[in-house]
Amino acid sequence: MAGLEVHLVTPEREVWAGEADFVTARGVDGDLGVLPGHAPLLAALAVGPVFIDAGGSRTAVVVDGGFLHVAHDDDITRVDILAEHALLSDELGQDSAESREQRAEELRSEDRLDEAREEQAKAAVRRQVADS
């Protein structure tokens, strides 16, 4: 069985592209996994991790929302992840969980609670991916 053709992009850059065996992501309605031959799908992504398993290794990516699209044509299953913002696990030093937590605290002090919750979620997923 053929693998997955995966493209994870943001408006600024292509974060990851290649052949994979399995992709997991956090949708707004829960976690989802994609294997070769998956049915067509369009899902909104929440702030959360994306894991790309390829050739026995796992790539972890922090995604701050976006969309995941699966298309199947003949033996090719293509997964397009269109993210608002994404960082590979080795890039997390540039956008640390601590800075997100500080920003969340500032927003709470300004009574901007929805934005503070989102920043706290971003901090939590950065910690999760850094620990994986």
Domain that holds residue 120: 95-131
Which residue, chain included where needed, has tokens 């959360």? Answer: 48
If asked whether residues 43 and 65 sit together in one domain, one would say yes
If asked whether residues 37 and 100 sit together in one domain, one would say no
Residue 56: phi, psi to the nearest 5?
85, 0
Mean pLDDT (the chain, rounded):
90
If asked whether residues 110 and 66 sit together in one domain, one would say no
What's this model's pTM, rounded to 2 decimal places?
A: 0.85
53-84 per-position pLDDT tens digit: 999 999 999 999 999 999 988 788 999 999 99
Instruction: For residue 76, give both structure tokens.
Output: 């090719």
- Number of domains comprising the chain: 2
If asked whether residues 77 and 104 sit together in one domain, one would say no
Residue 104 has pLDDT above 90, yes or no: no
| Rounded distance between C-alpha atoms, residue 87 and residue 52, angstroms | 13
If asked whether residues 79 and 113 sit together in one domain, one would say no
